[in-house]
Amino acid sequence: MHIPDNYLSPASCALLAVAAAPAIGLSIAKVKVQLKENKELAPMLGVAASLSFLLMMFNVPVPGGTTAHAVGGALLAILIGPYAASLALSVALILQAFLFGDGGILALGANIFNMAVAMPFIGYGIYSWFRKHHHESLGVIVGSYVAINAAALLTGIELGLQPLIASEAGQPLYNPYGLEVTIPAMMAAHLVVAGWVEAFFTYVIYRFVKQVAPAELYTPSSKNTTSFVKKIRWVLLGLIVLSPLGLLADGTAFGEWSSEELGSLLKGKVPAGIKNGFSFEALFSDYTIPGTKIAIGYILSAITAVLIFYIISKMIRSINGAKTSHA
């Protein structure tokens, strides 16, 4: 679901970045208020970003020989609220793009719109409706399943529109597959496999939190505590240790091929925008660490990301604490 660079036209990238901006801006404003009321939200933001990042490392095989993964959009919204979840997911996506080459730099706005805006708000909205009608567990499952499929549908539409809006002499400049291919491909992968993986992870982690700290699942009046953060970190440790399991799935996710992979699929007819477009070489591309075995590199990448999120959360907590003291 991570759209790479050059699969969307520059105009599409700009439009989707503009579309995501108001939601992210509102989330920043809301979270600033929440941090003033509860500084313990800061470490939870780091935990949430880590949780989503680690879930996205677990690739699973899907029909057609490609792969997909969970995202955790609804899960984070259930744990810390949709606004904080939107920010945590955005930070995770930014780190993935710049440090690990997972998702494009120019396409970052599109990926944030699909996974950090649509997913948490749709998932939380569905979960809240079921919770009000006393079916909270069902809301967790339905909300997470629908949320990731909504993001997949958006991705399929964005990719599939490219041949219609960006072509030259009748040839697509960017993603070469139309809506009749992209939507079925994205939806088959997520309706049949990835949606259920998302629902499974969401429900299992939700049940864990329900057992260890039931009062701290997000409500507008709830407050996360240090104890809660410490308990959820055991989940992160388990995901780090198990992260190499994501390497067992062969193949590349639909629409995330390199120029060379796409060339082999199209018998060398790579669209000009992809072939000659923007190129960015991430330091730890594909979660590999130079000089290490791929499984070890995967674990080290996971640890690196979690440490970065931890440092960011400590900085946020420190800044917020200083502002509170000054006030």
Residue 46 has pLDDT above 80, yes or no: yes
CA distance 257 to 188: 18
**Angle between helical axes of 226-242 and 195-212 (0-180°, round to 10):** 140
Residue 224 reports pLDDT greater than 90 = no
pLDDT band at 281 (very low <50, low <70, confident <90, very high): very high
* Residue 326 reports pLDDT greater than 80: no
The per-residue pLDDT for 320 is 74
Contact, 67 vs 59, CB < 8 A?
A: yes
Closest CA to 202 of 34, 96, 89, 76: 76
pLDDT above 90 (res 318):
no
Here the tokens at position 170 are: 């009748």
Cβ-contact 255, 175 below 8 angstroms: yes
Look at residue 195 in the predicted model and tell me its pLDDT. Answer: 97
Contact 78, 251 (CB under 8 A): no
Q: Is the pLDDT of residue 325 over 70?
A: no
Chain centroid to CA 205:
17
Per the listing, tokens 């780190």 go with: 95
Is 323 a residue whose pLDDT tops 80? no
Q: What separation in angstroms does the CA of 321 have from each of 88, 218, 229, 273? A: 20, 22, 18, 47
123-174 pLDDT per residue, tens: 999 999 999 999 999 999 999 999 999 999 999 999 999 999 999 999 999 9
In Å, the largest CA–CA distance within the chain is 64
- What band does 207 get if pLDDT is binned at 50, 70 and 90? very high
The model carries a pTM of 0.95
Domains of the chain: 10-326 (1.10.1760.20)
On the question of pLDDT at 48 being above 70, the answer is yes
